[in-house]
Amino acid sequence: MDIIGFLVETGFWMATIRMATPLVFGTLGELVCERAGVLNLGIEGIMAAGCMGGWMWVYQGGSLWGGVVFAAVIGVIFGLVHSLFTVYLGLSQHVTGLGITMLGSSLSAFVFRMLLPKATTPPKIIPFHSLDIPLLRDIPFLGEVLFSQSALTFVALAAVVLVAFVLFKTPLGLALRMVGENPLAVEAQGLDVFLLRTLAVCAGSAMMAVGGAFLTLSAFDAYYIGMVNGRGWICIALVVFSSWKPYKALAGCLLFAAFDAVQMRVQQQAGMAIPYQFYLMLPYVCSIVALIIMSRKAAYPKALLIPFRKGER
């Protein structure tokens, strides 16, 4: 078993970046929601809905990019529902989030079964192909690792830059961050707390849904029920790990995916010396460990989980 050996392999890095992509979308989406003071536990269900919706769009004859947009629209709809409950009514963000997750997961399973009742083996689509740009592709190592990825991976990287820019360099971002720290101060500035939070939750949920769509439109070519498989919950852990900062979130996702890729490799090479179930546990255990390490100094947005009601303080 040669760990150093495959750290210099292109295959390992290709796998890492591919596995990090849905996490980047999900983590960024959750980060934007939490920065505005709303915990979105609906992430697992919203990813499932984007996963199924995007796939179904393409399966019914739509284009791949159309599928991505459709997934984003689904995300916005779930975001609107979540903000109605948490922002306007101020219900418990924990329980409504879980409700959204249940709704998103069960509705996507239901719709899939209704549209394709007889599908025993998952029907396939032609997913995004790798970019394969001439010249760039020929750069040793880096070219192979980066330009073997699909376009959605580059969208994810662009989203990191965009979210960081909007949050920290624009007045809108300042308002969004303030609304997660001190909504009263935002109201005193004459800004609409409800609108800002809704905006953040919808934008965040759209990113989560696109992260789900990446699974069916790029990483795999079929949809099967339960394929999000806890990735959403891992994103929530990664947000804490990143201290609510976009670039750190990207680094966290890459680190996490690299770890995942290592465990898959080790699993293949070590064979059955350690049962495979223990390797599969590692992502979840690592998330918990990451939470333990980072939570000590975690600077949660101060208004996170606290509903804002006019005239109440």
In the complex, the residues that contact other proteins under the rule CB under 8 A are: 41, 81, 85, 88-92, 94-96, 98-100, 102-103, 105-107, 109-110, 113-114, 117, 194-195, 230, 233-234, 236-237, 240, 275, 277-278, 280-281, 284-285, 287-288, 291-292, 295-296, 298, 309-311
| Beta carbon nearer to other proteins, 188 or 292 | 292
| Beta carbon nearer to other proteins, 96 or 150 | 96
Is the Cα dihedral 27, 30, 34, 39 positive or negative? negative
| Beta carbon nearer to other proteins, 16 or 287 | 287
Min dist CB 174 to other proteins, Å, is: 22
Calculate Rg over the CA atoms of the chain: 20
| Beta carbon nearer to other proteins, 247 or 284 | 284
Min dist CB 226 to other proteins, Å, is: 11
| Beta carbon nearer to other proteins, 117 or 171 | 117
Please give the Cα distance from 169 to 185 (Å, whole number): 19
User: What residues contact 38, with CB distance under 8 A and at least 6 apart?
Assistant: 82, 83, 86, 87, 93, 180, 197, 200, 201, 304
Min dist CB 109 to other proteins, Å, is: 5
User: CB atoms < 10 A from the CB of 133, how many?
Assistant: 11
Min dist CB 178 to other proteins, Å, is: 20
Please give the Cα distance from 113 to 189 (Å, whole number): 49
**CA 235 centroid distance within chain:** 6
